[in-house]
Structure 1
């Protein structure tokens, strides 16, 4: 086949040398343009890091952590919107040594996993990878970058968007069990009030014996039933809110002591209720036992209820109320503002010493 014949039959062949050179020039221009574009685009940000906190990490913290660990509702006293708190659980440049990542985000224990399974946990592999790289690159949290909900968004919407699509539907029993748990904040007031009122009438019976049987007995029996119900609801509610199941043992956790002290009160109330029924039936001397037990229950349920209030509203809830009553709230705030934070006292003393030497 001649060269002329090849050119006619091959659409990619150039008819002469000038056309061939023109083709080479166009290919060179295209390659040069692609090379320049590749140089301008980079996987690293201006600080030379792959992960940008505001672009990559902030959305994860907002969607997966913020609803349960914010300023108004900081479960386990952990706030994801406070850089100092978060960085206190992180070892920059070492994700495996970082408590927040290794002990919680990577945990296979449903009581330790964050976010918990009931909140859509664990994080997806992509989210875990970004958090890991962010920590290994130094866990940089730029100053001025904050976590907060948009005005039109709600905690429920944020959590709903964060739950993986393949989480799967719950069984009917699981749904009913979780539903009744949300009644705990309302139901728990019944045994608290009933045991306190029953104990009060036991004390009144020391002066007026006629008040020492029917009312305290009714309060004890109804209080025991509602204590059983509210305790069961409390266990469900704790799991649903991410506090862990009954198998979670943490002696430093206030929720652990609250749930087990509630169980103790419930068991004692059932025991004293049975003693009271036996006493009424047989008219024996065990009446003093259940009445004394009711006084003990009134004391214990008051302590457990107070602890539950602190978990819900903070330890400063009642002290703040009294400061408002006596008009001393501003004075306490000013005094606390003047006190150095723990660990800063030595720094202040050192600075004073340096200035003195100067």
Structure 2
């Protein structure tokens, strides 16, 4: 009887460990707004907000979530400029905050903050407290492929997997398994955009 009791408790304990965790929706007011306040409001608040992107006003910010000129694509952080630019290497001129702001002491989002923002976007980027998560929008087929075609500024192409970034280099994994660094600035604009999206998706 004693052995059976221990066995039952052990089984219950294992089942509790294996049961999927229930994640609560990210709360904009409690979790996301403080991040934006600390890392984005310096440039993106008030009537003279840079890039006409005002984040301190929910009404103004909402105009750039979805629609024709979005900085956030609800359900898809890999296509959202906010997540993409916040996740770029500091050496990238398009990273947020930009180099001039960093020189004045502005700090980029930490990996924890960026992941939280991405989760909020994946859940639909809602301002409402406790909003139910929405299904993520499926990535385009090109983003799902492991092997991509890369083009440099001279028009030459190369097929390789994206293996990350290192400084100003994009790491490309060739068919033979070797990995080579390639200068980001020598890639074509299309390949630069692809590198940004793939980099953001891995953060």
Q: Where on the TM-score scale, by shorter chain, does this alignment land: which range?
A: 0.3 to 0.5
Kindly indicate which of the two structures has a greater share of residues assigned to helix: 1
More relative contact order in 1 or in 2 (CA 8 Å, sep 6+)?
2
TM-score (norm 1): 0.27
Greater C-alpha radius of gyration: 1
Kindly indicate which of the two structures has a greater share of residues assigned to strand: 2
TM-score (norm 2): 0.44
